[in-house]
Amino acid sequence: MNCKKEAVELMHKYLDGDLTKAEEAGLIQHLETCEDCQKHFHELKRTITWIQSTGQITAPSNFTQNVMAKLPKEKKRVSYMRWFKAHPVLTAAAIFFIFMFSGVFSAYNHDSQLIVSKQDDLIIKGDTVVVPEGVTVAGDLVVKNGDLRIDGTVDGNVTLINGKLLDNSIEGEGLMASVGEVNGKIEQVDQVFEWMWYHLRNIFESIFSVDNK
């Protein structure tokens, strides 16, 4: 075997793991007889061991931050999306509130029609609902987006949404005296929050009334 060419070539193939069984046997046989090649082989292996023994080094401590600072700015949209993904509960809560408020507001703002609870004997003049004298309205009376004048009697609660309770006696015999008889509570709602509060209370009341029965 030619030391300079063949044997050294085989050594490198061995180091790269490319040696076939037959070639390996040939190399071993040659190394046993040739001292120069043995030395050469030993030096190669020692060199590799030495290369591999050089120490590990680590990047400077603020390396990552420095890289991040050098990057071009990302799009705004993406950072918002990431925030939403990172805070799912807050996002859900925010969406819930948006829907809830928009629902309440639209219900409050868009229903500007006059709505009166269905009872006989009520007189409607334009935007004003009148309980005529000598008439007794049975049950709760609800007037929405309109004023109410009570000359007669209401046998139940009165709720006014977005409207006023009109005083029919301008002469003023005292505030309450002018109002017809109401055998229940009078309630006026004309603020958004009161409107919401009224709704929420209604919900609770309906829940509890079921329990009571």
Partner 1 sequence: MEFMIKEKIKQVKKGDQAAFEDVVAFYQNKIYQHCYRMLGNVHEAEDIAQEAFVRAYVNIHSYDDKRKFSTWLYRIATNLTIDRIRKRKPDYYLDAEIKGADGLDMYSQLETDSPLPEEEVESLELKSYIHHEISELPPKYRTIIILRYLEDFSLKEISDILDIPLGTVKTRIHRGREALRKKLRHV
Which residues would be at the binding site for partner 1 (CB under 8 A)?
8-9, 12, 15-16, 18, 40, 43-44, 46-48, 50-60, 63-64, 66-68, 70-72, 74-75, 77-79, 82
Instruction: Specify the residue, 16 or 35, whose C-beta has the smaller distance to partner 1.
Output: 16
104 DSSP β-pair partners: none
Instruction: Specify the residue, 48 or 124, whose C-beta has the smaller distance to partner 1.
Output: 48
Residue type, 20: T
For 183, which DSSP code? S
Hey, is 95 helix, strand or coil?
helix
Residue type, 126: G
Instruction: Specify the residue, 56 or 113, whose C-beta has the smaller distance to partner 1.
Output: 56
71 vs 10: CA distance, rounded Å: 49
Q: If residue 50 lies in a helix (H) or strand (E), which one and from where to where?
A: helix 35-53
Instruction: Specify the residue, 24 or 43, whose C-beta has the smaller distance to partner 1.
Output: 43
188 CB contacts (<8 Å, ≥6 apart)? 160, 163, 164, 165
Instruction: Specify the residue, 55 or 126, whose C-beta has the smaller distance to partner 1.
Output: 55
CB 187 within 8 A of CB 158: yes
